[in-house]
Chains A and B, each alone.
Chain A
Amino acid sequence: MSYPSDFKYTKEHEWIKADGTTATIGITSYAQESLGDIVFVELPKPGAELTAGKTFGSVESVKAVSDLYAPATGTVTEVNGDLATAPEKINQDAHSSWMLKIKLKNPGELNALLSSADYEKFVAEEGGH
Protein backbone atom coordinates (compact mmCIF):
# COMPACT_ATOMS: atom_id res chain seq x y z
CA MET A 1 0.00 0.00 0.00
CA SER A 2 1.37 3.41 -0.88
CA TYR A 3 0.76 6.36 1.39
CA PRO A 4 0.85 9.73 -0.41
CA SER A 5 3.86 11.76 0.67
CA ASP A 6 1.94 15.04 0.61
CA PHE A 7 -0.38 13.75 3.39
CA LYS A 8 0.33 13.75 7.12
CA TYR A 9 -0.87 10.90 9.33
CA THR A 10 -1.97 10.21 12.91
CA LYS A 11 -1.35 7.11 14.97
CA GLU A 12 -5.15 6.72 15.06
CA HIS A 13 -5.02 6.23 11.27
CA GLU A 14 -6.41 9.49 9.93
CA TRP A 15 -4.76 11.34 7.08
CA ILE A 16 -4.75 15.10 6.50
CA LYS A 17 -3.70 17.03 3.44
CA ALA A 18 -3.11 20.76 3.88
CA ASP A 19 -3.31 23.40 1.20
CA GLY A 20 -2.43 26.69 2.81
CA THR A 21 -4.89 27.21 5.65
CA THR A 22 -7.43 24.64 4.48
CA ALA A 23 -7.07 20.90 4.86
CA THR A 24 -8.82 17.68 3.84
CA ILE A 25 -9.26 14.77 6.28
CA GLY A 26 -9.93 11.07 5.85
CA ILE A 27 -8.89 7.66 7.19
CA THR A 28 -6.00 5.61 5.85
CA SER A 29 -6.00 2.56 3.70
CA TYR A 30 -4.63 0.60 6.66
CA ALA A 31 -7.63 1.74 8.74
CA GLN A 32 -10.20 0.67 6.15
CA GLU A 33 -8.48 -2.67 5.74
CA SER A 34 -8.47 -3.37 9.48
CA LEU A 35 -12.10 -2.28 9.81
CA GLY A 36 -13.36 -4.36 6.90
CA ASP A 37 -16.61 -3.52 5.10
CA ILE A 38 -17.56 0.01 6.17
CA VAL A 39 -21.31 0.50 6.51
CA PHE A 40 -21.75 3.73 8.46
CA VAL A 41 -20.01 7.06 8.86
CA GLU A 42 -21.04 9.75 11.31
CA LEU A 43 -19.53 13.18 10.66
CA PRO A 44 -19.96 16.68 12.13
CA LYS A 45 -21.80 19.43 10.23
CA PRO A 46 -20.17 22.42 8.54
CA GLY A 47 -19.34 25.00 11.18
CA ALA A 48 -18.38 22.43 13.81
CA GLU A 49 -15.10 22.98 15.62
CA LEU A 50 -12.49 20.23 15.67
CA THR A 51 -9.78 20.03 18.33
CA ALA A 52 -6.58 18.18 17.53
CA GLY A 53 -6.53 14.76 19.19
CA LYS A 54 -10.25 14.83 20.11
CA THR A 55 -12.95 12.68 18.51
CA PHE A 56 -15.04 14.27 15.77
CA GLY A 57 -17.15 11.36 14.59
CA SER A 58 -17.18 7.65 14.07
CA VAL A 59 -16.92 5.03 11.39
CA GLU A 60 -18.49 1.60 11.62
CA SER A 61 -17.79 -1.57 9.73
CA VAL A 62 -19.96 -4.66 10.02
CA LYS A 63 -17.75 -5.89 12.85
CA ALA A 64 -16.57 -2.77 14.69
CA VAL A 65 -17.21 0.82 15.76
CA SER A 66 -14.24 3.14 15.62
CA ASP A 67 -13.89 6.76 16.75
CA LEU A 68 -12.43 9.34 14.43
CA TYR A 69 -9.76 11.66 15.90
CA ALA A 70 -9.06 15.14 14.59
CA PRO A 71 -5.54 15.40 13.18
CA ALA A 72 -5.67 19.20 13.63
CA THR A 73 -7.70 22.01 15.17
CA GLY A 74 -10.04 23.94 12.92
CA THR A 75 -13.55 24.64 11.64
CA VAL A 76 -15.43 22.30 9.33
CA THR A 77 -16.16 23.97 6.00
CA GLU A 78 -17.36 21.00 3.95
CA VAL A 79 -18.55 17.43 4.55
CA ASN A 80 -18.41 14.63 1.97
CA GLY A 81 -22.13 13.83 1.75
CA ASP A 82 -21.54 10.83 -0.53
CA LEU A 83 -20.29 8.82 2.42
CA ALA A 84 -23.70 8.91 4.12
CA THR A 85 -25.20 6.77 1.37
CA ALA A 86 -22.05 5.06 0.04
CA PRO A 87 -19.65 4.53 2.96
CA GLU A 88 -18.11 1.58 1.08
CA LYS A 89 -16.27 4.15 -1.06
CA ILE A 90 -13.78 4.34 1.79
CA ASN A 91 -12.98 0.65 1.30
CA GLN A 92 -12.59 1.20 -2.41
CA ASP A 93 -10.19 4.13 -2.10
CA ALA A 94 -9.53 5.47 1.37
CA HIS A 95 -7.06 8.13 0.27
CA SER A 96 -9.44 9.83 -2.18
CA SER A 97 -12.64 9.29 -0.12
CA TRP A 98 -12.24 12.35 2.03
CA MET A 99 -14.54 13.01 4.99
CA LEU A 100 -14.13 16.68 5.90
CA LYS A 101 -12.55 19.87 4.72
CA ILE A 102 -11.54 22.23 7.50
CA LYS A 103 -10.12 25.71 7.93
CA LEU A 104 -6.98 25.20 10.00
CA LYS A 105 -6.53 27.30 13.10
CA ASN A 106 -2.81 26.70 13.19
CA PRO A 107 -1.26 25.07 10.10
CA GLY A 108 1.97 24.60 12.09
CA GLU A 109 0.20 21.86 14.07
CA LEU A 110 0.66 19.48 11.19
CA ASN A 111 4.40 19.38 11.70
CA ALA A 112 3.84 17.21 14.75
CA LEU A 113 2.12 14.48 12.69
CA LEU A 114 3.68 11.48 11.00
CA SER A 115 5.17 11.65 7.52
CA SER A 116 4.18 8.94 5.03
CA ALA A 117 7.46 7.10 5.68
CA ASP A 118 6.97 7.24 9.46
CA TYR A 119 3.36 6.13 9.17
CA GLU A 120 4.28 3.22 6.95
CA LYS A 121 6.84 2.10 9.51
CA PHE A 122 4.23 2.55 12.28
CA VAL A 123 1.61 0.36 10.61
CA ALA A 124 4.19 -2.26 9.64
CA GLU A 125 4.94 -2.62 13.36
CA GLU A 126 1.29 -2.49 14.39
CA GLY A 127 0.23 -4.99 11.72
CA GLY A 128 2.97 -7.40 12.62
CA HIS A 129 2.27 -7.65 16.36
Chain B
Amino acid sequence: MVEFNGWDMPVEYPASIGCGIISEHNAVRTCVGIFDVSHMGDIRLAGRDAIAAVQHISMNDASRLAIGQAQYSALLYPQGTFVDDVIVHRFGEDEYLLVINAGTREKDFAWVRDNTREFDCAVENLSDDFTQIAIQGPKGVNLLQKLTNADLSGVKFYWVTHGTVCGLPNTLIARTGYTGEDGFEIYVPSDEETSTRVWNEVLGAGREFGAVPCGLGARNTLRLESKLPLYGHELSDTINVWEAGLDRFCKMEKPEFVGREGLERAKGEGLKRTLVGLEMIDRGIARDGYKVLDDNGAEIGYVTSGSYAPFLKKNIALAYVPLRFAAVGTSINIEIRDQGVKAHIVPTPFYKKPKNSKT
Protein backbone atom coordinates (compact mmCIF):
# COMPACT_ATOMS: atom_id res chain seq x y z
CA MET B 1 0.00 0.00 0.00
CA VAL B 2 1.11 3.56 -0.63
CA GLU B 3 -0.11 6.88 0.64
CA PHE B 4 -1.74 8.70 -2.30
CA ASN B 5 -3.09 12.15 -1.54
CA GLY B 6 -4.29 11.04 1.86
CA TRP B 7 -5.57 7.64 0.71
CA ASP B 8 -4.01 4.25 1.44
CA MET B 9 -4.02 2.62 -1.97
CA PRO B 10 -2.50 -0.50 -3.47
CA VAL B 11 0.03 0.06 -6.27
CA GLU B 12 -0.77 -3.47 -7.35
CA TYR B 13 -2.54 -6.52 -5.99
CA PRO B 14 -0.55 -9.63 -5.01
CA ALA B 15 1.04 -11.92 -7.58
CA SER B 16 -0.38 -14.81 -5.53
CA ILE B 17 -3.88 -13.97 -6.82
CA GLY B 18 -2.71 -13.53 -10.42
CA CYS B 19 -2.12 -9.78 -10.16
CA GLY B 20 0.87 -7.46 -10.51
CA ILE B 21 0.96 -4.36 -12.71
CA ILE B 22 1.57 -6.20 -16.01
CA SER B 23 -1.22 -8.77 -15.47
CA GLU B 24 -3.63 -6.11 -14.24
CA HIS B 25 -2.84 -3.82 -17.18
CA ASN B 26 -3.28 -6.57 -19.76
CA ALA B 27 -6.50 -7.79 -18.14
CA VAL B 28 -8.00 -4.35 -18.81
CA ARG B 29 -6.79 -4.39 -22.43
CA THR B 30 -8.07 -7.89 -23.15
CA CYS B 31 -10.96 -8.62 -20.74
CA VAL B 32 -11.75 -6.54 -17.63
CA GLY B 33 -10.14 -5.00 -14.55
CA ILE B 34 -11.72 -3.47 -11.46
CA PHE B 35 -10.42 -0.38 -9.68
CA ASP B 36 -11.37 1.23 -6.40
CA VAL B 37 -11.20 4.90 -7.39
CA SER B 38 -12.97 6.32 -4.36
CA HIS B 39 -10.16 8.85 -4.01
CA MET B 40 -11.66 10.81 -6.89
CA GLY B 41 -13.63 13.84 -5.68
CA ASP B 42 -17.09 15.04 -6.64
CA ILE B 43 -18.54 18.55 -6.64
CA ARG B 44 -22.24 19.08 -7.28
CA LEU B 45 -23.55 22.33 -8.71
CA ALA B 46 -27.30 22.80 -8.69
CA GLY B 47 -29.66 25.72 -9.00
CA ARG B 48 -31.14 28.17 -11.47
CA ASP B 49 -27.71 29.44 -12.62
CA ALA B 50 -25.92 26.08 -12.58
CA ILE B 51 -25.27 26.08 -16.32
CA ALA B 52 -23.96 29.64 -16.25
CA ALA B 53 -21.71 28.78 -13.30
CA VAL B 54 -20.33 25.67 -15.02
CA GLN B 55 -19.76 27.62 -18.23
CA HIS B 56 -17.87 30.29 -16.27
CA ILE B 57 -15.50 27.89 -14.48
CA SER B 58 -14.80 25.28 -17.16
CA MET B 59 -13.15 25.47 -20.57
CA ASN B 60 -15.32 23.03 -22.52
CA ASP B 61 -18.83 23.97 -23.64
CA ALA B 62 -21.25 22.52 -21.08
CA SER B 63 -24.22 23.99 -22.94
CA ARG B 64 -23.77 21.19 -25.48
CA LEU B 65 -24.46 18.54 -22.84
CA ALA B 66 -27.78 16.77 -22.94
CA ILE B 67 -29.17 15.51 -19.64
CA GLY B 68 -27.28 12.28 -18.94
CA GLN B 69 -24.22 13.27 -20.94
CA ALA B 70 -20.65 13.93 -19.74
CA GLN B 71 -17.61 15.75 -21.14
CA TYR B 72 -13.91 16.05 -20.41
CA SER B 73 -13.02 19.59 -19.38
CA ALA B 74 -10.73 21.62 -17.11
CA LEU B 75 -10.79 24.37 -14.53
CA LEU B 76 -8.26 27.09 -15.33
CA TYR B 77 -6.44 29.93 -13.64
CA PRO B 78 -6.76 33.36 -15.30
CA GLN B 79 -3.46 32.80 -17.16
CA GLY B 80 -4.83 29.63 -18.79
CA THR B 81 -2.95 27.08 -16.66
CA PHE B 82 -4.65 24.23 -14.83
CA VAL B 83 -6.47 24.20 -11.52
CA ASP B 84 -7.45 20.64 -12.42
CA ASP B 85 -8.85 18.55 -15.24
CA VAL B 86 -12.39 17.29 -14.63
CA ILE B 87 -15.30 15.35 -16.04
CA VAL B 88 -18.49 17.40 -16.16
CA HIS B 89 -21.69 15.34 -15.90
CA ARG B 90 -25.10 16.82 -16.54
CA PHE B 91 -27.72 15.12 -14.37
CA GLY B 92 -30.73 17.39 -14.77
CA GLU B 93 -32.01 20.65 -16.16
CA ASP B 94 -30.01 22.57 -13.52
CA GLU B 95 -27.76 19.95 -12.00
CA TYR B 96 -24.12 19.16 -12.78
CA LEU B 97 -21.43 17.01 -11.16
CA LEU B 98 -17.70 17.67 -11.54
CA VAL B 99 -15.48 14.64 -10.98
CA ILE B 100 -12.11 15.92 -9.81
CA ASN B 101 -8.70 14.56 -8.80
CA ALA B 102 -7.86 13.36 -5.29
CA GLY B 103 -4.78 15.51 -4.84
CA THR B 104 -6.63 18.71 -5.70
CA ARG B 105 -9.94 18.11 -3.89
CA GLU B 106 -9.78 20.86 -1.30
CA LYS B 107 -8.15 23.32 -3.68
CA ASP B 108 -10.75 22.60 -6.39
CA PHE B 109 -13.70 22.91 -4.04
CA ALA B 110 -12.48 26.24 -2.64
CA TRP B 111 -11.77 27.47 -6.17
CA VAL B 112 -15.19 26.42 -7.51
CA ARG B 113 -16.96 27.96 -4.51
CA ASP B 114 -15.02 31.24 -4.83
CA ASN B 115 -15.61 31.51 -8.56
CA THR B 116 -19.33 30.79 -8.48
CA ARG B 117 -20.38 33.23 -5.72
CA GLU B 118 -22.08 35.49 -8.27
CA PHE B 119 -24.39 32.71 -9.40
CA ASP B 120 -27.64 31.40 -8.02
CA CYS B 121 -26.21 27.92 -7.62
CA ALA B 122 -25.45 25.67 -4.65
CA VAL B 123 -21.98 24.11 -4.59
CA GLU B 124 -21.60 20.95 -2.58
CA ASN B 125 -18.56 18.79 -1.94
CA LEU B 126 -19.84 15.21 -2.24
CA SER B 127 -16.38 13.65 -2.32
CA ASP B 128 -16.86 11.60 0.82
CA ASP B 129 -20.33 10.38 -0.09
CA PHE B 130 -19.34 7.88 -2.77
CA THR B 131 -17.31 4.77 -3.21
CA GLN B 132 -16.38 4.88 -6.88
CA ILE B 133 -15.62 1.61 -8.61
CA ALA B 134 -14.28 1.53 -12.16
CA ILE B 135 -14.99 -1.55 -14.27
CA GLN B 136 -12.73 -1.23 -17.30
CA GLY B 137 -12.08 -3.29 -20.38
CA PRO B 138 -13.93 -4.86 -23.32
CA LYS B 139 -15.80 -7.26 -21.00
CA GLY B 140 -16.76 -4.50 -18.54
CA VAL B 141 -20.19 -4.15 -20.07
CA ASN B 142 -20.87 -7.89 -19.74
CA LEU B 143 -19.73 -7.89 -16.15
CA LEU B 144 -21.79 -4.91 -15.02
CA GLN B 145 -24.88 -6.02 -16.93
CA LYS B 146 -25.03 -9.06 -14.63
CA LEU B 147 -25.40 -6.75 -11.63
CA THR B 148 -27.86 -4.14 -12.88
CA ASN B 149 -31.34 -3.79 -14.35
CA ALA B 150 -30.25 -0.77 -16.40
CA ASP B 151 -29.85 -1.52 -20.11
CA LEU B 152 -26.16 -0.77 -20.58
CA SER B 153 -26.23 -1.33 -24.33
CA GLY B 154 -28.18 1.92 -24.55
CA VAL B 155 -25.52 3.93 -22.71
CA LYS B 156 -22.94 5.45 -25.06
CA PHE B 157 -19.37 6.37 -24.11
CA TYR B 158 -19.38 9.51 -21.92
CA TRP B 159 -23.07 9.13 -21.08
CA VAL B 160 -24.58 8.20 -17.73
CA THR B 161 -27.64 6.38 -16.51
CA HIS B 162 -29.17 5.41 -13.18
CA GLY B 163 -30.26 1.93 -12.20
CA THR B 164 -30.28 -0.67 -9.48
CA VAL B 165 -26.77 -2.07 -9.02
CA CYS B 166 -26.12 -4.90 -6.56
CA GLY B 167 -29.55 -4.20 -5.10
CA LEU B 168 -28.86 -0.48 -4.61
CA PRO B 169 -31.60 1.53 -6.34
CA ASN B 170 -30.92 4.68 -8.37
CA THR B 171 -27.15 4.09 -8.57
CA LEU B 172 -25.18 6.37 -10.85
CA ILE B 173 -23.58 4.43 -13.72
CA ALA B 174 -21.24 6.37 -16.02
CA ARG B 175 -19.66 4.97 -19.15
CA THR B 176 -16.36 6.69 -18.42
CA GLY B 177 -12.86 5.71 -17.37
CA TYR B 178 -9.18 6.47 -17.37
CA THR B 179 -7.73 3.48 -19.17
CA GLY B 180 -8.29 4.03 -22.89
CA GLU B 181 -10.78 1.16 -22.92
CA ASP B 182 -14.53 0.96 -22.86
CA GLY B 183 -15.79 0.73 -19.31
CA PHE B 184 -18.00 2.01 -16.54
CA GLU B 185 -17.70 3.80 -13.24
CA ILE B 186 -20.33 3.21 -10.59
CA TYR B 187 -20.96 5.45 -7.57
CA VAL B 188 -22.28 3.69 -4.47
CA PRO B 189 -22.73 4.86 -0.86
CA SER B 190 -19.36 5.11 0.86
CA ASP B 191 -20.17 3.28 4.08
CA GLU B 192 -17.80 0.38 4.60
CA GLU B 193 -20.38 -2.37 4.62
CA THR B 194 -21.96 -1.37 1.30
CA SER B 195 -18.59 -0.63 -0.31
CA THR B 196 -17.12 -3.99 0.66
CA ARG B 197 -20.19 -5.87 -0.44
CA VAL B 198 -20.34 -4.18 -3.86
CA TRP B 199 -16.60 -4.60 -4.42
CA ASN B 200 -16.85 -8.32 -3.68
CA GLU B 201 -19.94 -8.76 -5.83
CA VAL B 202 -18.27 -7.00 -8.76
CA LEU B 203 -15.18 -9.19 -8.40
CA GLY B 204 -17.35 -12.30 -8.14
CA ALA B 205 -19.41 -11.38 -11.20
CA GLY B 206 -16.17 -10.80 -13.11
CA ARG B 207 -14.65 -14.19 -12.42
CA GLU B 208 -16.09 -15.79 -15.58
CA PHE B 209 -14.53 -12.99 -17.67
CA GLY B 210 -11.11 -13.23 -16.04
CA ALA B 211 -11.55 -9.99 -14.10
CA VAL B 212 -8.78 -8.96 -11.72
CA PRO B 213 -8.57 -6.14 -9.16
CA CYS B 214 -6.22 -3.39 -10.36
CA GLY B 215 -4.14 -0.90 -8.41
CA LEU B 216 -2.67 2.54 -9.00
CA GLY B 217 0.27 1.15 -10.95
CA ALA B 218 -1.88 -0.28 -13.75
CA ARG B 219 -4.12 2.78 -13.67
CA ASN B 220 -1.02 4.84 -14.42
CA THR B 221 0.42 2.64 -17.18
CA LEU B 222 -3.01 2.28 -18.85
CA ARG B 223 -3.64 6.00 -18.95
CA LEU B 224 -0.06 6.61 -20.15
CA GLU B 225 -0.40 4.22 -23.12
CA SER B 226 -3.59 6.08 -24.04
CA LYS B 227 -1.98 9.52 -23.45
CA LEU B 228 -4.57 10.55 -20.88
CA PRO B 229 -2.99 13.38 -18.87
CA LEU B 230 -2.41 13.24 -15.11
CA TYR B 231 -2.58 16.35 -12.95
CA GLY B 232 0.84 17.09 -11.42
CA HIS B 233 2.54 15.50 -14.45
CA GLU B 234 1.23 16.56 -17.87
CA LEU B 235 -0.98 19.26 -16.32
CA SER B 236 -0.18 21.80 -13.61
CA ASP B 237 -0.59 25.41 -12.59
CA THR B 238 2.43 26.32 -14.77
CA ILE B 239 1.34 24.48 -17.94
CA ASN B 240 -1.32 25.97 -20.21
CA VAL B 241 -3.97 24.34 -22.38
CA TRP B 242 -2.09 24.87 -25.66
CA GLU B 243 1.11 23.34 -24.31
CA ALA B 244 -0.80 20.31 -23.02
CA GLY B 245 -2.43 19.88 -26.44
CA LEU B 246 -5.99 19.90 -25.06
CA ASP B 247 -7.23 22.42 -27.64
CA ARG B 248 -10.19 20.30 -28.68
CA PHE B 249 -11.65 20.38 -25.17
CA CYS B 250 -11.24 24.17 -24.91
CA LYS B 251 -14.00 26.17 -26.57
CA MET B 252 -12.61 29.62 -27.31
CA GLU B 253 -15.86 30.45 -29.10
CA LYS B 254 -17.48 30.63 -25.66
CA PRO B 255 -17.64 34.38 -24.91
CA GLU B 256 -16.26 34.01 -21.41
CA PHE B 257 -14.69 31.58 -18.93
CA VAL B 258 -11.91 31.85 -16.36
CA GLY B 259 -8.64 31.51 -18.26
CA ARG B 260 -9.96 32.56 -21.64
CA GLU B 261 -8.11 35.88 -21.78
CA GLY B 262 -4.89 34.28 -20.59
CA LEU B 263 -5.18 31.67 -23.33
CA GLU B 264 -5.87 34.38 -25.91
CA ARG B 265 -2.69 36.10 -24.80
CA ALA B 266 -0.67 32.87 -24.75
CA LYS B 267 -1.81 32.08 -28.29
CA GLY B 268 -0.61 35.51 -29.43
CA GLU B 269 2.77 34.94 -27.84
CA GLY B 270 3.15 31.60 -29.60
CA LEU B 271 3.76 28.10 -28.30
CA LYS B 272 7.18 27.60 -26.70
CA ARG B 273 6.91 23.95 -25.74
CA THR B 274 4.53 21.12 -26.38
CA LEU B 275 3.68 17.70 -25.00
CA VAL B 276 5.07 14.86 -27.12
CA GLY B 277 5.14 11.09 -26.99
CA LEU B 278 8.47 9.35 -27.22
CA GLU B 279 9.73 5.83 -27.46
CA MET B 280 13.12 4.64 -26.28
CA ILE B 281 15.36 3.30 -29.03
CA ASP B 282 18.30 2.19 -26.90
CA ARG B 283 17.91 0.24 -23.67
CA GLY B 284 16.52 2.26 -20.80
CA ILE B 285 13.28 3.52 -19.31
CA ALA B 286 12.48 7.24 -19.20
CA ARG B 287 10.96 8.12 -15.85
CA ASP B 288 9.04 11.11 -14.52
CA GLY B 289 11.33 14.11 -14.16
CA TYR B 290 14.20 12.81 -16.32
CA LYS B 291 15.82 15.39 -18.61
CA VAL B 292 15.33 15.41 -22.37
CA LEU B 293 18.57 16.22 -24.26
CA ASP B 294 19.24 17.09 -27.88
CA ASP B 295 21.85 15.17 -29.89
CA ASN B 296 24.57 17.50 -28.54
CA GLY B 297 23.64 16.75 -24.96
CA ALA B 298 21.97 20.12 -24.27
CA GLU B 299 18.93 20.02 -22.01
CA ILE B 300 15.74 20.81 -23.97
CA GLY B 301 12.89 19.55 -21.81
CA TYR B 302 11.70 17.00 -19.29
CA VAL B 303 9.72 13.79 -19.00
CA THR B 304 6.30 14.14 -17.33
CA SER B 305 5.45 10.41 -17.24
CA GLY B 306 7.47 7.43 -18.40
CA SER B 307 7.29 3.69 -18.03
CA TYR B 308 7.54 0.31 -19.59
CA ALA B 309 4.24 -0.07 -21.47
CA PRO B 310 2.90 -3.52 -20.55
CA PHE B 311 0.56 -4.01 -23.51
CA LEU B 312 2.77 -2.43 -26.19
CA LYS B 313 5.90 -3.96 -24.63
CA LYS B 314 7.90 -0.80 -25.30
CA ASN B 315 9.48 1.87 -23.15
CA ILE B 316 7.41 5.00 -23.67
CA ALA B 317 7.11 8.47 -22.15
CA LEU B 318 5.43 11.84 -22.40
CA ALA B 319 7.63 14.94 -22.31
CA TYR B 320 7.59 18.68 -22.81
CA VAL B 321 10.00 19.83 -25.53
CA PRO B 322 10.38 22.97 -27.70
CA LEU B 323 8.30 22.90 -30.89
CA ARG B 324 11.29 22.33 -33.16
CA PHE B 325 11.81 18.90 -31.53
CA ALA B 326 8.15 17.90 -31.65
CA ALA B 327 7.90 16.37 -35.14
CA VAL B 328 7.36 12.62 -35.29
CA GLY B 329 10.68 10.90 -35.93
CA THR B 330 12.85 13.59 -34.34
CA SER B 331 15.79 12.05 -32.54
CA ILE B 332 16.30 13.06 -28.91
CA ASN B 333 17.97 11.59 -25.83
CA ILE B 334 16.83 10.92 -22.30
CA GLU B 335 19.30 11.40 -19.47
CA ILE B 336 19.25 8.18 -17.48
CA ARG B 337 21.75 7.89 -14.64
CA ASP B 338 23.96 10.62 -16.15
CA GLN B 339 23.98 9.10 -19.65
CA GLY B 340 22.09 10.15 -22.76
CA VAL B 341 19.98 7.24 -24.03
CA LYS B 342 18.54 7.40 -27.56
CA ALA B 343 14.83 7.95 -28.10
CA HIS B 344 12.58 9.42 -30.77
CA ILE B 345 9.28 11.23 -31.05
CA VAL B 346 6.35 8.96 -31.99
CA PRO B 347 2.67 9.57 -32.77
CA THR B 348 0.24 9.53 -29.84
CA PRO B 349 -1.79 8.06 -28.33
CA PHE B 350 0.68 5.17 -28.11
CA TYR B 351 -2.29 2.82 -27.83
CA LYS B 352 -5.74 3.11 -29.38
CA LYS B 353 -8.42 0.56 -28.64
CA PRO B 354 -9.50 -1.54 -31.61
CA LYS B 355 -12.21 0.16 -33.69
CA ASN B 356 -14.66 -2.73 -33.52
CA SER B 357 -15.08 -2.62 -29.74
CA LYS B 358 -18.43 -1.07 -29.01
CA THR B 359 -18.62 2.24 -27.17
Complex contacts, B11 vs chain A, CB 8 Å: 36, 63
A63 x B217 contact (CB < 8 A): yes
Complex contacts, A63 vs chain B, CB 8 Å: 11-12, 21, 217
Tell me whether A37 is interfacial, beta carbon within 8 Å: yes
Complex contacts, B337 vs chain A, CB 8 Å: 42, 58
**Given A60, A62, A65, which contacts B217 in the complex, CB threshold below 8 Å?**
A62
Report how many A-B pairs have Cβ atoms within 8 Å.
40
Question: Who on chain B is nearest to A41 by CB?
Answer: B283
Known: A62-B22, A62-B217, A63-B217. A36 touches B284 (CB 8 A): no
Tell me whether A40 is interfacial, beta carbon within 8 Å: yes
Q: What is the CA–CA distance of A117 and B349 in the complex, to the nearest angstrom? A: 49
Tell me whether B310 is interfacial, beta carbon within 8 Å: yes
Rounded to whole Å, the gap between the CB of A1 and the closest CB of chain B is: 12
Tell me whether B20 is interfacial, beta carbon within 8 Å: yes
Complex contacts, B284 vs chain A, CB 8 Å: 40, 42
Q: What is the CA–CA distance of A60 and B337 in the complex, to the nearest angstrom? A: 13
Known: A36-B11, A39-B308, A40-B308. A62 touches B287 (CB 8 A): no
The interface size bin for chain B is: 10 to 19
**Given A40, A42, A58, A62, which contacts B21 in the complex, CB threshold below 8 Å?**
A62
Question: Who on chain B is nearest to A87 by CB?
Answer: B308
Complex contacts, B310 vs chain A, CB 8 Å: 37, 62
Q: What is the CA–CA distance of A37 and B15 in the complex, to the nearest angstrom? A: 9
Complex contacts, B15 vs chain A, CB 8 Å: 33, 36, 91
Rounded to whole Å, the gap between the CB of A128 and the closest CB of chain B is: 13
Complex contacts, B12 vs chain A, CB 8 Å: 36, 63
**Given B22, B221, B283, which contacts A40 in the complex, CB threshold below 8 Å?**
B283
Q: What is the CA–CA distance of A36 and B11 in the complex, to the nearest angstrom? A: 10
A37 x B20 contact (CB < 8 A): yes
Question: Who on chain B is nearest to A65 by CB?
Answer: B287
Tell me whether B307 is interfacial, beta carbon within 8 Å: yes
Complex contacts, B22 vs chain A, CB 8 Å: 37, 62
B283 x A36 contact (CB < 8 A): no
Rounded to whole Å, the gap between the CB of A66 and the closest CB of chain B is: 12
Complex contacts, B283 vs chain A, CB 8 Å: 40, 42, 84
Q: What is the CA–CA distance of A63 and B284 in the complex, to the nearest angstrom? A: 14
Complex contacts, A58 vs chain B, CB 8 Å: 337
Tell me whether B174 is interfacial, beta carbon within 8 Å: no
Q: What is the CA–CA distance of A63 and B305 in the complex, to the nearest angstrom? A: 12
Question: Who on chain B is nearest to A63 by CB?
Answer: B217
Question: Who on chain A is nearest to B307 by CB?
Answer: A62
**B contacts, CB < 8 Å to A:** 11-12, 15, 20-22, 217, 221, 283-285, 287, 307-308, 310, 315, 337
**A contacts, CB < 8 Å to B:** 33, 36-37, 39-40, 42, 58, 60-63, 65, 84, 91
Closest 6 CB pairs of A and B: A39-B308, A62-B21, A37-B22, A63-B217, A37-B20, A62-B308
Given A37-B20, A39-B285, A62-B221, output 4 extra A-B contacts at Cβ < 8 Å. Answer: A36-B21, A36-B217, A40-B283, A63-B12
**CB<8 Å pairs between A and B, sample of 6:** A36-B12, A36-B217, A42-B284, A62-B21, A62-B310, A63-B217
